[in-house]
Each structure stands twice: as C-alpha cells, then as structure tokens.
Amino acid sequence: MIVQFIHLILLCYGCTEFAGYYSKMPHTAAALWVFLSFLILFLGLPFLKERVIKSGKIPRFFKTYNIFCFIIVIWISLFFCFVNPASAFSDTKLADFSTLNIGLGMILYLLFLKPFMVTLYEMMRPVLAEEQTCDDFLRARLTVPIIFFPPVLLWLVIEDLGLNKGMELMSEIKTLVFAPLFLFGLYVLSPRLFNWAWKTENASKELVERLLALSERSNTKIAGVKVWNTFKEPLPNAAVAGLLSKFRFVYVTDFLLDVFSEDQIEAVVGHELGHLRLGHVVSYLFFSINAILVAILTKSLLVIYFPYFYINNTLTYILEIVVFIPCFAILFTAMARYCECQADLFSVTLTNKESFVSSMNILKLMTGSKPKWFPKWLLTHPEAEDRIENVKDNSQIKINSLIKSSKVLRYSLLVMAVALIIISVYPVSIVFNWSNLYNAAQAGNCGLVTKLCNSLPEWLAEHPFVLEQKGVAAMKCGNYGIAAVIAFKANFGVDLASVLKIPHHSGSPEVAFDFKVMQLILKFLNFS
C-alpha cells in the first residue's frame, strides 16, 4: 500500500523544497504553464483517449494509472519550480508557511486528477463492471488522497508554527519531538479517516455477531465491524484500524462479502485479528518513531559535523529523497512482509488451513501477480504463492510461539528507540544551545552571545555557525571591526585578531599594523 503514496510524497517535496527554484520570471512562467495545462487537458487527453480506443487495445490499469499520477505530480512540481506562491506574502510570516504551497499543490492535484481519471475510465470501460459509473470510478481514486492529505496538512501546520520561531533546524527538531504524539493520535483516530475515505457502513447483525465471536476466540477486542465501500470495484480485501480497543474496527469490503464463503471470510478476518493480537500495529508505531529519531539524529549530526553540506538545502533534500525515504521504504516493507506472514499463520491456527488457502487462491486469481519489473523487496505483502507456501511449511506452529516472536520484534524496536534517544541527547543539546545563541544574536544581546559561546565545547568554538552568530551579534551591537575580523576568519580561516593585538612592537602602531598586514598578505599568498 505504501507504493500508492509515493507520488503524493513526491508532490509534497515538489511543492515545498523546490518552490521558486527558477523564479526569474514567475508571472510569465505561470501564464505559460496555465496555457499548456489547457492544451494538455482539452487537446492532449482527448487525443490520447481516441487513439487508444481506435487501436482496440486496453491499457493495463495500474501501469496507466501510475503513469498518469506521476505526470500530474511532475507537471505541478514544474509549476512550483518557476513560481513560489508563498512569496506573495513576503512581507508577512506567511512567506515561510509551506502549508500554503502544499495546500495549493493538493488543490491542483485534485483538479488535474478528475480529467485524467475520466480519460482512464473511458479507455478501461470495456473491462470495468457494467454497474460502475464514472463517478464511482473517480470516487475510488480519491480514497488514497483522502487518507493522505488531512494528516499531512495537519502536520505541516504544526511544523510551520514551529519553524517560525527561532533557528530553523532547532524548530524542525522541536517539531519532530512532537511527532510520536502526533503518530499516536493518528493511529487512534485512523478509523474515522478510513470511514470517510471508504464511505463505510455498519455490517449486518449476523456478520457482526460471527466476527465478534471470532475476535473473542482470538482474545482480541474490537469495537465493531464496518463494510468497506469499493465503489463497484472488484476489491476483495479486509483491514483493521485503531490502536485502542474502544476505537478499533475490522473492515471488510462489500465485494469480499459477495464472493467469499463464510469460512473464507473468517480466515481473512482472522488474518487481520492476527495483526492486533500479535501487536503489529504497535510495532508499526515503534518503527515510525525510530525513523523520526533517526531523522533527528541525522539532522543534528549533519549541522554539527558537516555544516556546509547541511546549509546547502538542495543537497539535504536530495539526501532525503535518494537515501532516507528509500531506506525507510525498504526496511518498512521488509517488516510488513514479516508481519503479514505471521498474521497468516495466526489465521490458520485460529480457523483452518483449508479456508485460508482457498481464500488466497481466489485473491491470486482476482488480483493477479505483480509486474515483472517491480522488485519483491518493495512489496508490503508477499505474493499469494509465497503466502500459501509459508502456511504449508509452518502448519504446526502454535499461537504462543507467534506471540513470543512478535514480542521480540516489538521489544527490539522499543530498545532501539531508547538507544536512539540516548545517542541523540548530546547532539540535540548542542543544537538547542545554538538555537539560544541564534536568538540572542538576532536580538543583538552581545553579553548573552558571549556567555553562550563560552559554554560551548572548545572544539565547537570555531564552528562556522558559531562564528556567524558572533558576527551577527557584533554587527547589531555596532562592533564593525570585530564583525570584519570574524567574517575574515569564517571565510578564509585566518585570525585577524593577532594582527590587531600589537602591544610590544618597537615601531609606531601604524608601522606595526602595516607590517603585520603585509606579513599576513604574503602568508596568505604563499610568498612567505
């Protein structure tokens, strides 16, 4: 499922990190972009649709859908490269609010999504269900944005409120500290988001009673059962959401209820209950917290040990996109596949192997296999054949052993989180001091700047960031000579302070100073 969010993650990066990157003629670029957008929507898409329909070839749905989504994201990101809408508020604090750009980017995404999906619907019409209307098809495509956009916008508002106070890096770290609490709330309230995205309905009394009895057998409490609206699409699926038992629901698609037998439905729901009984939801939460802690530690170490690298925003964004996000995706999907296999085994011990295998065979026929080009190590769910083999090879496994192995995973993630917190204390404390130093320098409080600089470790006294804040404080206090000395030292690594201190020279001060300056210049030019 994480693959469905990749293009939306890239949309967020495109709307913020590269906004105004080439903003030399923003109004001209915006006008040209709007004109080309009309050509794409009113000429390009109809031409493509007619050409595909005339060819008689029906494109592959997922491939075409992903291509369309990435085209939309790239096109919107191109707009933000030339135009930075937040710059219109340059005289206010709103100029630093990334929420403005991402909010506009999301609106543009939804505006482009409709004509693109209408075109896809017309091209796929021969293989779609007869009763599925274009509105149904479009509403089904909106489920992922509905799940993704609200939490992202809420988080960005929190982040923006933090970034407008003090040093940007420290504000960013302070905001990340609140991320575990934010994630906890998101896990608790996720059923409400799913209810909205999937337009759920209450399940029948008979189904609720049967599945509640199954949850009691699995020693797992749930608040109820919801029918997941697939908008006339053949989606045999089930899910579970909610961290607390009072807000925890099992979701079953209407299509699965129509196609699967009662025993097969119990096998599928047993798998979802396995995620709860084995604590996989908590494991996912701990994993996400670890990822946040790694981000905090990495950002702190970069600004301390590689300041010039971190100051270059483009390099840091590339690092996040090329290194951090792929590593997170690879590790998360690996853990997800492991949890899926464990939940499969739990379902077999709770129901029976035959029902589970038959349900997997139906899923295999309906969903098909993954594209050959897509690597297995990026799948959140193992392929149906692998899941069936896993169940056959481990048919004698007991629930207690599954619970024990799941605890090992959960506690390992918890220990890792504690270790990361301990390791992060020192670098984060340094950045915290730097935040106070930054605020003092901006306020022109030279006394406090001196006090804070003296409290830093000796090896950080010559750090470019520390020198920069000293220079800012000196300028604000009117000490322009000291500011010049600090600027020269920061840029050329040469200490002019020794030049200005000439207490024991036999000549006049002017001659001594000229002599020292000439000596410095010759040394700098490698002539002495």
What is the predicted pLDDT for the residue at 524?
A: 44
Structural domain that includes position 489: 444-493
96 close to 86: Cβ distance less than 8 angstroms: yes
Residue 264 forms part of a structural domain: yes
pLDDT at 429: 87
Q: Note whether 181 and 126 are same-domain residues.
A: no
Tokens of 528: 């002495």
Other beta carbons less than 10 A from residue 42's beta carbon: 11
Q: Which residues contact 111 (CB under 8 A, 6 or more apart)?
A: none
In the chain, the number of structural domains is 4
Nearest partner of 258 among 222, 210, 207, 224, judged by Cα = 207
Burial per residue of 302-323, b for 16 or more beta-carbon CB atoms within 10 angstroms, e otherwise: bbbeeeeebeeeeebeebbeee
- Helix or strand holding residue 174 (H, E): helix 168-177
Residue 15 near residue 101, CB atoms below 8 Å: yes
Q: Clarify whether residues 139 and 184 are in a common domain.
A: no
pLDDT at 505: 45
Same domain? For 217 and 366 the reply is yes
Quickly list DSSP for 423-449. HHHHHHHHHHHHHHHHHHHHHT-HHHH
Residues 394 and 408 in one domain: yes
Residues 299 and 177: their CA atoms lie apart, in Å, by 13
Alpha carbon distances (Å) from 282 to 275, 289, 398, 426 = 9, 11, 21, 28
In a domain? residue 325: yes
Q: Is residue 464 domain-shared with residue 387, that is, in the same domain? A: no
Question: Which pLDDT belongs to residue 527?
Answer: 39
Residues of the chain with pLDDT under 50: 164, 500-528
The answer to whether residue 286 is domain-embedded is yes
Are residue 22 and residue 158 in the same domain, yes or no? yes
Domain check: are 40 and 93 in the same one?
A: yes
Same domain, 487 and 499: no
End-to-end CA distance of the chain: 66
Q: How many CA atoms lie within 13 A of 8 on its CB side?
A: 23
Residue among 131, 150, 385, 418 at smallest CA distance from 286:
418
Does any domain span residue 418?
A: yes
pLDDT in tens, 225-272: 999 999 999 889 999 998 888 889 999 999 999 999 999 999 999 999
Give the Å distances, CA to CA, from 395 to 149, 202, 233.
41, 34, 33
Q: What pLDDT score does 503 carry?
A: 45
Q: What is the pLDDT of residue 312?
A: 56
Q: 86: buried, middle or exposed (CB in 10 Å: 19+, 13-18, 0-12)? A: buried
Position 432 in a domain: no
pLDDT tens sequence across 412-435: 999 999 999 999 999 888 888 888
- Long-range pairs for 350-353: beta carbons < 8 A, 24 or more residues apart: 350/214, 350/217, 350/218, 350/270, 350/273, 350/274, 350/399, 351/214, 351/263, 351/266, 351/267, 351/270, 352/263, 352/267, 353/391, 353/392, 353/395
Asked if residue 196 and residue 133 are part of one domain, the reply reads no
How far, in Å, CA of 343 to CA of 278, rounded? 8
Instruction: Please tell me whether residues 413 and 478 are part of one structural domain.
Output: no
pLDDT at 412: 96
Q: Is residue 435 assigned to a domain? A: no
